[in-house]
Amino acid sequence: MSSSIGLEQQFGANNYSPLPVVLTKGEGVYVWDEEGVRYIDMMSAYSAVSHGHCHPVIVKALSEQAGTLAVVSRAFYTNKLGVFLQKLCEITGFDKALPMNSGAEAVETAIKAARKWAYQVKKIPENKAEIIVCEGNFHGRTTTIVGMSSEPQYRFGFGPFAPGFKLIPYGDIAALEKAITPQTAAFLVEPIQGEAGIIVPPKGYLKKCAELCKKHNVLLICDEIQTGLGRTGKLLASDHEGVKPDGLILGKALGGGLLPISAFLTRADVMAVFTPGDHGSTFGGNPLAAAVGAAAIDVLIQEDLVSRAAKLGDYMLKSLTSIQSPYIKEVRGKGLLIGVEINKEFCSAREICLRLLKEGVLSKETHHTVVRFAPPLVITEQQIDKVVAALSKVLI
């Protein structure tokens, strides 16, 4: 066993079950282990490395800013944050953005904004506001967020949980309509559920959700931490149905594969519920993160990564669906966010991932049944061909 694995197991908490490989270097779609073996990364850190590993433009922005000014807290203005927020708002079409670090922090920000808006603007009685969420959701790991999860393991041993959430089936517009009451502040939803196994809702679902929310004066908040910034072949997954939500949550790819950067974006009237002292983060919006985030947005546009994800996602979906194997139950996804559901009668998805590892392909299972394929958006058709060939080989 590698000494690196041994050290992690000896001194780290046992809250992950990594594949048995120790990575030491990355470039583009490739990563290398400590023995110099090269792998194609089909995970891209759950979409955080959409630009590819160690993108030179983003690394340069990080290096230059780190040697100038990195962190000063939001007690002062800096010359980087405003530029980053402007780019972020202009590319997404929102009025205001509140920067945080992790995706979970941005989700918590959205929850706070929705509740305060409900009390101050919608005039819901204090402490009665409800937020509707979906079964199979994954919005983060804080105690508030796992309290609205339907996954037993995420909840077990961590209660009591905060009230104020309603859980409904995903993709069921009738369930949403039934769940809305005068106390409903917001509907928080993933346009495509990532951690649940790359679950794509019925066509038109999000558009109908938006119409319902508008009808009942309910905020539609889209969690696009995994699906946003080009991953699904559109800038935002909500763009596939022409939906402009009231609130948007971004993270992962926003950090260019280098830093944790997230943000909650919304209309000016919704963001206006926050006043100095209501919410904050020591590291959120620091100049180092702002410089990296701005560079990540520039690269996304200049290299046309959104169109690449659309074109190559279609190519990969067609290639994967052409595999004839009883091991495969279903192939689904949009853009370069693809799940291959494995027939559990034959083996587990983890077993397939372990076999792919030996073939130089890195992926990770979700819920023991789905192999996730979400590579950096800079991947090529030739590299996709190698992955598909490797998958075909291990499905025996």
Tell me the pLDDT of the chain (396 aa) as tens digits.
Answer: 789 999 999 999 999 999 999 999 999 999 999 999 999 999 999 999 999 999 999 999 999 999 999 999 999 999 999 999 999 999 999 999 999 999 999 999 999 999 999 999 999 999 999 999 999 999 999 999 999 999 998 999 999 999 999 999 999 999 999 999 999 999 999 999 999 999 999 999 999 999 999 999 999 999 999 999 999 999 999 999 999 999 999 999 999 999 999 999 999 999 999 999 999 999 999 999 999 999 999 999 999 999 999 999 999 999 999 999 999 999 999 999 999 999 999 999 999 999 999 999 999 999 889 999 999 999 999 999 999 999 999 997
What gap in Å lies between CA 252 and CA 249, rounded to an integer? 10
What gap in Å lies between CA 254 and CA 258, rounded to an integer? 9
Give the CA distances from residue 153 to residues 93, 134, 160, in Å, rounded to whole numbers and listed in that order. 37, 17, 15
The answer to whether position 11 is within a domain reads no
Same domain, 267 and 334: no
Same domain, 230 and 266: yes
What pLDDT score was predicted for residue 368?
85
Full domain range(s) for residue 185: 57-302
Same domain, 38 and 112: no
The answer to whether position 23 is within a domain reads no
What pLDDT score was predicted for residue 191?
98
- CATH number of the CATH domain containing 235: 3.40.640.10
What pLDDT score was predicted for residue 133?
98
Same domain, 223 and 280: yes
- CATH number of the CATH domain containing 341: 3.90.1150.10
Look up 346 and say whether it is catalytic.
no
List the structure tokens of 242.
């022409």
* Domain-terminating residue out of 267, 302, 337: 302
Same domain, 283 and 140: yes
Same domain, 115 and 250: yes
What pLDDT score was predicted for residue 367?
82
Same domain, 40 and 159: no
What pLDDT score was predicted for residue 261?
98
Same domain, 107 and 256: yes
The answer to whether position 8 is within a domain reads no
The answer to whether position 24 is within a domain reads no
Same domain, 191 and 277: yes
Instruction: Name the domain count of the chain.
Output: 2
What pLDDT score was predicted for residue 1?
75
User: Between 287-302 and 305-321, two packed helices, what is the crossing angle to 10 degrees?
Assistant: 70
| Distance separating the N- and C-terminal Cα atoms of the chain | 28
What gap in Å lies between CA 29 and CA 44, rounded to an integer? 8
* Domain-terminating residue out of 241, 267, 302: 302
* Domain-terminating residue out of 279, 302, 325: 302
Question: What SS3 string covers 5-55?
Answer: HHHHHHHCCCCCCCCCCCEEEEEECEEEECCCCEEEECCHHHHCCCCCECC
Look up 223 and say whether it is catalytic.
yes
The answer to whether position 1 is within a domain reads no
Look up 373 and say whether it is catalytic.
no
The answer to whether position 2 is within a domain reads no
What pLDDT score was predicted for residue 217?
98
pTM: 0.97
What gap in Å lies between CA 241 and CA 222, rounded to an integer? 13
- 172-207 burial code (b ≥16 CB/10 A, e <16): bbebbeebbeeebbbbbbbbbbbbbbbbbbeeebbe
State the catalytic residue, choosing from 223, 274, 364, 373.
Answer: 223
State the catalytic residue, choosing from 138, 264, 274, 283.
Answer: 138
Q: Helices then strands (H, E): number in the chain?
A: 14, 15
What gap in Å lies between CA 152 and CA 52, rounded to an integer? 34
